[in-house]
């Protein structure tokens, strides 16, 4: 029996799908048959957007995989975390299982630059990214957030039996 990972991420454009595939391939290459990764965009029955799946089919389909998973990986990048992913995080959180977040926004941190800090006092001049802190709190309660794909892939090893 392999360790099951649910890879939650936005999947609605070529860039998102390519990135998701890139990260999942890294996971599969490193861990081989020790892990089974569910990447929702590979589930054409509910995520081929040229076809049709209603809300119940999508919820039931993804929930089935969430319920079987040992670990949730959540790609938190974007203007805000994807709304479907946020719901999946809440669902998985309630099952009291571990999660890892991936947040690669390059605007994180001050980089020792006082001008960036001073700009916070000017209206509409923040040089920093924003992510919903409730969502961050859920992930951190059950795991941690990493800032790059390589660190994420390595961290998965800490969760394997």
Taking the CA atoms of residue 5, residue 6, residue 7 and residue 12 in that order, the dihedral angle to the nearest 10 degrees is 160
Bridge-partner residues for 36, per DSSP? Answer: 4
CB distance 75 to 9 below 8 Å = yes
Q: Give percent above pLDDT 70 in the chain.
A: 99
CA distance 41 to 121: 42
Name the packing angle between helices 55-68 and 83-94 (round to 10°).
40
Q: Look at residue 53 in the predicted model and tell me its pLDDT.
A: 87
Q: What predicted TM-score, i.e. pTM, was given to this entire model?
A: 0.93
**What's the pLDDT at 137?**
97
Looking at residue 154, what is its pLDDT?
98
Of 116, 115, 92, 118, residue with least CA distance to 106: 116
Model pLDDT for residues 13-72, shown as the tens digit of each residue: 999 999 999 999 999 999 999 999 999 999 888 877 778 989 999 999 999 999 999 999
Give dist(CA 52, CA 2) in Å, integer.
Answer: 31
Q: pLDDT digits over 91-107, tens only?
A: 999 999 999 999 999 99
């Amino acid at each position: 029996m392999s360790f099951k990972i649910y890879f939650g991420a936005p999947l609605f454009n070529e860039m998102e799908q390519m990135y998701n595939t890139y990260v999942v391939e890294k996971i599969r290459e490193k861990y081989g048959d020790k892990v089974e990764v569910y990447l929702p965009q590979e589930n054409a029955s509910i995520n081929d957007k040229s076809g049709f799946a209603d809300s119940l089919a999508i919820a039931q389909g993804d929930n089935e995989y969430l319920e079987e998973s040992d670990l949730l990986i959540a790609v938190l990048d974007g203007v805000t975390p994807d709304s479907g992913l946020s719901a999946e995080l809440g669902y998985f959180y309630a099952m009291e299982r571990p999660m890892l977040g991936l947040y690669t926004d390059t605007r994180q941190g001050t980089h020792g630059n006082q001008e960036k800090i001073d700009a916070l006092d000017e209206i509409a001049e923040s040089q920093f990214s924003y992510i919903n802190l409730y969502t961050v709190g859920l992930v951190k309660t059950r795991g941690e957030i990493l800032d790059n794909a390589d660190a994420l892939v390595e961290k998965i090893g800490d969760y394997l039996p």
